[in-house]
Structure 1
Amino acid sequence: MNLRITAAAAGAVALLPLLAACGGGTSSDGTSGEGSSTVTLVTHDSFAVSDEVLAAFEKESGLTVEQVAPGDAGTLVNQLVLTKDAPLGDAVFGVDNTYASRAVDAGVFEEYQPADLDPQVAAYAPDDLAGVLTPVDRGDVCLNLDDGWFEEHDVTPPATLEDLTKPAYRDLTVVTNPATSSPGLAFLLATIGAFGTDGWEGYWAGLRDNGVKVAESWEDAYYVDFSGAGEGGQRPIALSYATSPAFTVSEDGTTSTTSAMLDTCFRQVEYAGVLAGAENPDGAKQLVDFLTSAEFQADVPGQMYMYPADPEVELPADWQQFAPLADEPFEVAPADVAAHRDEWIEQWTATVVG
């Protein structure tokens, strides 16, 4: 069981044949999947599914699933846009609400949504994505704390975004680059939601002057730099997810060694879709149907440490204590994200990286 990362090496481009079976199937719009026995899913590095859940889908559909993982979700979208005339696969999972409009506007996707999609799930796709992308999971991108580090060093843990610019927290924080990482862009949007379009750059200048480190991917920030991941990192404040503390629970299940700063969050929604120009569009539609099925949705928390889009799925018992969603995550209107995303990333780069 991995925390937002697959067994594949992070950042690598992998083509992974999974399991083969025979038979036939149809997508929810009634189209046949018998034209090809292979369907390729393009996804980010953190995609994961239980072997038995995938095997059941392959047996029922008669499809063999292959996976292509170009990197983090930000890299994924960049690759989808660059290769739209010769797509990397048939279906995609992992495009999120911070980058989705860019891919949609570039014509990356064919229109498709499962016919029987629960209206509560469909509601996670704003109007500009409806009918094109299908919500699969959701979660809050938040800063995480290594609670043991703060106790050991007798330092009061930070609680707010403003705290991170204080001298007591100099050189303690690692975040990810919004140009290459969807959690990084989500956190940038959190600061825009918190400080407004006139104040966020000044806030980031304060973080820069207080020694914030910028990693290129979530995996690097969490597993290389974060001291709470148990991998030798040196920084006790890292950008991750509100669900991450459920991964660091003690063996007896009573405590966690990390916690999420729930006043620093931005809500992320991840989508699936059918790629325009796919070699196996019927298989792609069946795969999107599978990602919204009860079986896959129930598998999401344990495999990817995200909340399933389906609100009826039973969550792990310890999530109420260790992985709650934020009561009031920061928000930026989807239309504003679409209109200003590239501009904001350029301004962030000039301010923080130089």
Structure 2
Amino acid sequence: TPASTDDPGTTDTPAPDVTETVTLVAYESFPSEDTPINEQLAAFTADTGIGVEILIAGDTGTMLSKAELTAGNPEGDVMWGIDNTFLTRAIDSGIFEPYVSPGIDSVDPRFTDLVPNGEATPVDFGDVCINYDIAALEGLGVEPPTSLDDLIDPAYADLLVVENPATSSPGLAFLLATIDEYGDDGWQDYWSGLVDNGVSVTDGWTDAYYGEFTYAGGDRPLVVSYGSSPPFEVLFGDGLTEAPTGVVESTCYRQVEFAGILAGTDQPDAAQQLIDFLISEPFQAEVALNVFVFPVNTYVELDPAFADFAVIPDESRSLDTEDVDANREDWIDEWTDLVIG
């Protein structure tokens, strides 16, 4: 999820007979125009009389920082997109009002176990992984990497773009993947190797994928993105029947995203109804094709393109949430000193 804008924008979902309106704060890649997700929000409005405005607030790290500054007097009513790498920080900052939805039993318990007291509500999951442009690597005569180790090989010099973990949730997930691989005392040397090998860093996913990744017109054929990116290219490419991008499965780090009621909302009842809707089958059925992550509602079937082209590793990388909570800021500070200087 990206972090390339500072100015939030608001999109109204038109609907009849609106009696009250809630604001859904979301990260930059959340659909805010005419898409099936927005059509579902319009259907929610038609059923409940509750209008939904979408307030785009940057990438997850940027969005969370803004929410912390306005804790208790929030800019919106519900927030979409805090992930498991930032969850404990969000909870400790007091930005969410706990709530357990009546529909929570439809959500995979692997995800609800992360919030046993209803601190937030799981809404989607996916894996942050190294993606590569198949044709671009072939044109360079370079084989796709198969491991994190490969990325510091001179054969891949100046080919990789990553996101800043201080501002980007996929950037943080990739940093955590390297800590998982090399340990608390070894990841620093690995990142020094990436710097020596010409890694490029952007603020967020949009700048990395659509700015520097070769498949979108940039000059770097390796990017930190998602295991669900290949089906996106197939579904929205011009007549594609095979994915033009690949995923390095051994690099994947599991990411779970949450929605939460913002503490201090003036409309807690309407906010609760929106949370209920966000995990319902009609809305969850649109998550994969619109946000390009996977639904947490166990009753939703994926589009065949996802079954054919998405990568969902049998065993994704992960770190203990308490370990991440205890060390996140120190790790980010160390990374900044090493990579940004």
The two structures share one fold, judged by TM-score above 0.5: yes
The farther-off stretch of 194-203 and 134-143 is 194-203
**1:15 alignment partner in structure 2:** 10
Give 2:227's aligned residue: 242
Which residue number corresponds to residue 327 of structure 1? 314
**Structure 2 equivalent of residue 47 of structure 1:** 30
Alpha-carbon deviation of 1:10? 4.7
Does residue 59 of structure 2 align to residue 64 of structure 1? no
Partner SS state of residue 261, structure 1? strand
How do 1:50-129 and structure 2 match up within 5 A? Answer: 50=36, 51-118=38-105, 120-127=107-114
Q: Name the structure 1 match of 2:182.
A: 195
1:121-200 equivalent positions in 2, closer than 5 A? 121-127=108-114, 130-200=117-187
Native 8 Å contact 2:106 2:298 kept in 1: no
CA distance in 1, matches of 2:184, 2:328: 12
Quickly say closer, same or farther: Cα 1:160–1:349, change in 2 above 3 A: same
| Paired positions, count | 335
- Paired with 1:210 and 1:306, the residues of 2 have a C-alpha distance of 31
Which digits, 9 at most, give the CA deviation of each residue in 1:67-94, with x for residues without a partner?
1111011111111111103201111111
Deviations 1:265-316 (A, max 9, x none): 1111110111110011111111111100100000101111110011331111
Residue aligned with 1:263, SS = strand
Q: Helix, strand or coil: the match of 2:304? A: coil
Q: 1:294 to 1:127 in 2, by over 3 A?
A: closer
8 Å CA contact retained: 1:143, 1:241: yes
1:269 aligns with 2:256: yes
With normalisation by structure 2, the TM-score equals: 0.94
Deviation at 1:125, TM superposition (A): 3.7
User: In 1, Cα distance between the equivalents of 2:93 and 2:223?
Assistant: 32
1:228 to 2:215 alignment: yes
Q: In structure 1, what is the Cα distance between the partners aligned to 2:47 and 2:245?
A: 41
- Any conservation in 2 of the 1:22–1:62 contact (CA below 8 Å)? yes
1:21–1:63 Cα contact (<8 Å) kept:
no
Structure 1 segments, 4+ long, off by >2 Å, are 9-12, 20-23, 119-123, 125-130, 250-254
Identical-pair percentage: 46
* Distance (Å, rounded) in 2 between the aligned partners of 1:345 and 1:126: 26
Q: Secondary structure of 2:300's partner?
A: coil
Query: Is the contact made by 1:126 and 1:334 (CA closer than 8 Å) also made in structure 2?
Result: no
C-alpha distance in 1 between matches for 2:5 and 2:225: 16
C-alpha distance after superposition, 1:118-167 (max 9, x if no partner): 26434314455631100000000001100001111211111110000000
CA 1:11–1:147 in structure 2 vs 1: closer, same or farther (change >3 Å)?
farther
Asked if 1:38 corresponds to 2:21, the answer is yes
Aligned residue type for 2:328: R
Q: Given residue 13 of structure 2, which amino acid in structure 1 is its aligned partner?
A: L
CA contact (8 A) 1:140 1:329 kept: yes
Q: State the alpha-carbon separation in 1 of the partners of residues 51 and 115 from structure 2.
A: 32
In 1, Cα distance between equivalents of 2:94 and 2:309: 40
CA distance in 2, matches of 1:255, 1:110: 44
Q: SS of the counterpart of 2:285? A: helix
Of 191-200 and 111-120, the range deviating more from structure 2: 111-120
Contact 1:122–1:135 (8 Å) recurs in 2: no
1:33 corresponds to: none
1:174-228, Cα deviation, whole Å (9 max, x unpaired):
0000000000001111111111111111111110110000100100000000001
In structure 1, runs of 5+ residues without a counterpart are 24-35
Structure 2 unpaired stretches of 5+: none
Partners of 1:251 and 1:225 lie apart in 2 by 21
Whole-Å Cα distance in 1 between the matches of residues 6 and 277 of structure 2?
26
Match of 1:350 in 2: 337
Partner letter of residue 297 of structure 1? Q
Q: Give 1:305's aligned amino acid.
A: F
Q: What CA deviation, in whole Å up to 9, does each residue of 1:301-338 have, x standing for no partner?
A: 11111100113311111222210212221110011111
Contact 2:64 2:90 in 1 (8 A): yes
AA in 2 matched with 1:107: G
Q: Residue deviations 1:214-249, cap 9 Å, x none?
A: 1001000000000012xx200000010001011222
